[in-house]
Amino acid sequence: MEIAFVLGFPLLGGLLLALVGHKRWAPELNALMSFTTLVAAAALTRRVITDGPMTALQEQFFVDPFNVFLVALTAFVGFTTALFSRPYMRIEEHHGRLNTARLRLYHSMYQMFSFTMLLCLLSNNIGILWVALEGATLATVLLVSLYRTPASLEAAWKYFILCSVGIAQALFGIILLYFAAEKVIGPGGTSLLWTHLYEVRDQLEPTVLSLAFVFLLVGFGTKVGLVPLHNWLPDAHAEGPTPVSAVLSGLLLNVALYAVVRSKVLVDGALGRNFSGGLMMGFGLLSVVVAAFFLSRQKDIKRMFAYSSIEHMGIVTFAFGMGGPVAAFAGLLHMTVHSLTKSAIFFAVGHATQKTGTQNMADIRGLIEQSPTIGWGLALGSLAILGMPPFGVFTSEFMVLTTAMHEHPWATPFLLVALGVAFAAIFGKVQPMVFGETNLRRLPHPPALVPVFVHLALVLILGVYIPPYLVEWYRQAAAFIG
């Protein structure tokens, strides 16, 4: 029942806003729909925590601690981002970068986007998962190209082509999976359902599954932004409207990674952990290192934080690749704190860019002087994302690193060097933007910075204290991932 609401509200919102998205009160409606979604998600979460995993609608939908935690996260960040986008989009309109038609498109697509992501998370059918993920791509392509500037078109085009091609590979992987499952379960719908696949996962044909996993990894990995499949990501983040960058970094990457992890669990059943784990650790490590070195060359602020997203997705992938309760726990935790922190950063960045009218970091100076909230938000957010205690990012990184030291000592130097380089790069660029003489102008609408500090507060709390029920929740999910 809650599932219906969780999926229904955003869908409804999408259709509604497609009609009325250009009205003055559309942003409020947008936020409202996201809020209802959040409420429904909360209800669903409570239900799952109490009653344990469940399926619905002839097993087409499936909820367990793993995906419900992502559902809650998605709904939450979706809501805060909607709050942030309210003044942000107004200001954009005021600056004349958007007209009402575009606003309508934006609002409707925003809801559709969250709908597709939630569908992707909740669907028990791997085929539907694929469909939803592709749908998310389509929605975000429209969002990325919202400004219709050459740059945004180029970014959107690359995003579209690369992700579609990637996801097509994933479809082939799914077909192979189906091909293998059919032999065990027999033809018909059920052999694409996660629940059924898990039951028989140790009987599936290993060679097929290894092939399938390669295709799935390349396919979904493109969307996660794993190096060397990441090339669409910085462009798309840099050129789209900032709320979209926030949800891309904060949510879409998580969802794609969710798909990877699900398939990994499936494949591990047949092949044992080393195969998939090794691949994922390799990709994760590569992403971390390469992204870290990319960071120091950035001029565009959003582009830089896009690369930092790649880096952190690399860390999470590495963690899940290592496997084991602690690493999986750390991975989940890192997903959470990264979404919160990164979206908070993008909120601050959004207003900062609006104040200066540029995304070029060399032209942004003295935020703390002109608007302390934005300045502190950006400074603290960046330090948090760089893994500075007492923020939660450090917590998960600590767990990942310590586990890595146990099980794969060879990897730790790479990770640590990458972390050091990333710190020097990002911090060296953020500091002059935050400090120094200011060069900013006033905004036509008061910026919404409550979300920034709510997120950062949550991350801070997670840094020093993880509530027991959350621990329990993560533990269940981690146990599933293994």
β-partners of residue 62 are 55
Nearer to other proteins, 94 or 407 (CB): 407
Nearer to other proteins, 71 or 133 (CB): 133
Three-class SS state of 303: helix
* Total Cβ atoms within 10 A of residue 445: 14
Nearer to other proteins, 51 or 437 (CB): 437
Of 207, 203, 131, nearest in space to 170 by CA: 131
Of 61, 59, 63, 34, nearest in space to 47 by CA: 63
* Total Cβ atoms within 10 A of residue 280: 27
Nearer to other proteins, 79 or 329 (CB): 329
Phi, psi angle pair for 212, to nearest 5°: -60, -45
d(C-alpha 380, C-alpha 368), whole Å: 12
Q: Hey, what are 98's tokens?
A: 């958007």
Taking the complex as a whole, how short is the minimal distance between the CB of residue 77 and other proteins, in angstroms?
A: 24
Nearer to other proteins, 43 or 200 (CB): 200
Taking the complex as a whole, how short is the minimal distance between the CB of residue 172 and other proteins, in angstroms?
A: 6
Nearer to other proteins, 27 or 392 (CB): 392
Taking the complex as a whole, how short is the minimal distance between the CB of residue 300 and other proteins, in angstroms?
A: 9
Nearer to other proteins, 290 or 352 (CB): 290
| Element at 63 (helix H, strand E) | strand 61-63
Nearer to other proteins, 91 or 132 (CB): 132
d(C-alpha 360, C-alpha 245), whole Å: 16
| Element at 56 (helix H, strand E) | strand 54-56
Asked if 232 and 158 count as a contact pair (C-beta separation under 8 A), the reply is yes
d(C-alpha 426, C-alpha 431), whole Å: 9
Taking the complex as a whole, how short is the minimal distance between the CB of residue 24 and other proteins, in angstroms?
A: 27
Taking the complex as a whole, how short is the minimal distance between the CB of residue 327 and other proteins, in angstroms?
A: 12
Phi, psi angle pair for 360, to nearest 5°: -80, 120
**Side chain identity at 127, as an amino acid letter?**
G
Taking the complex as a whole, how short is the minimal distance between the CB of residue 88 and other proteins, in angstroms?
A: 22
Taking the complex as a whole, how short is the minimal distance between the CB of residue 204 and other proteins, in angstroms?
A: 11
d(C-alpha 249, C-alpha 398), whole Å: 22
Q: What secondary structure letter does DSSP report for 193?
A: B
Nearer to other proteins, 39 or 417 (CB): 417
Q: Hey, what are 421's tokens?
A: 């380089």
Q: What secondary structure letter does DSSP report for 252?
A: I
Three-class SS state of 62: strand
Nearer to other proteins, 31 or 270 (CB): 270
Spell out the residues 6+ positions from residue 398 whose beta carbon is closer than 8 angstroms to its own.
Answer: none
